[in-house]
Homo-oligomer: A and B are copies of this chain.
Amino acid sequence: MASKESADNEHLVHSSDPDHPANLICTLCQKFYNLGWVTGTGGGTSIRHHDHIYIAPSGVQKELMRPTDMFVMDFNKREYLRKPTALKPSACTPLFLAAFTRGAGCCIHTHSQWAVLITLLVERDFGKDAYFEIEQIEQIKGIPKGRGKAGNLGYFERLRIPIIENTAHEEDLTESLEEAMEKYPDTYAVLVRRHGIYVWGDNVHKAKTQCESLDYIFQLAVEMKKLGFPWTS
């Protein structure tokens, strides 16, 4: 798929603009590493920039990445425009593409321990088919109402995040992720049982804000369980 030329598309990842996707993925992943979201080379981040999809590679130390480590894919042709020869493309790629197909501009995948614990708590307390639900927490207002809807969730509205079962191979999550996206068209995130979360947004700013808000809510919800508080009334 990647021709010799495509591997050399250096200009796609060279920019002095800190907000260029190739630079931004690096600074975001450093931050995510410090938050414990992408430890042990786990997790990943992808940005759509016009018709180019920038994707962090698989199996690299996420806090040490450089712009030249980025894979770049043509969104329409689904072909790599740039494929660093020494690196492996991310197994999350089809999942990121599912988000981009539904209008996302950025997709973040974390292995946050709070997210993992939430998937365990929901399964035990509400069953395997239940989604995570919480209400009356101010930070809920950091999450938009849904694609094509104006504004964010209100304090008295209920936040719902679907949960899908984990699979042996990351790419095999694609089908159930897409199913969850269809079934819950308003969601900007899907939890993966015993694994982590995929969060996306219209752009990098929104995806990051939503990912941070959700992680805050998950941590708070775990602490609430420890102290005996219900998530909904």
Q: Check A41 for interface membership: any CB of B closer than 8 A.
A: yes
Question: Quick one: which of A175-221 are within 8 Å of B by CB?
Answer: 192, 194-196, 205, 208-210, 212-213, 215-216, 219-220
Range of interface residues on chain A?
35 or more
Closest to A135 in B: B194
Q: Check A223 for interface membership: any CB of B closer than 8 A.
A: yes
Q: Contact between A61 and B209 (Cβ–Cβ < 8 Å)? A: yes
Indicate how many identical chains form the complex: 4
Say which residue of B39, B154, B168, B208 sits within 8 Å of A154 (CB atoms).
B168
Q: Is the interface of A mostly helix, strand, loop or mixed?
A: helix
Q: Contact between B227 and A120 (Cβ–Cβ < 8 Å)? A: yes
Tell me how far the C-beta of A171 lies from the nearest C-beta in chain B, rounded to whole angstroms: 13
Mind listing 12 A-B residue pairs with CB under 8 Å?
A39-B139, A39-B215, A40-B209, A41-B209, A111-B216, A116-B138, A116-B220, A120-B227, A138-B194, A138-B196, A155-B167, A155-B168
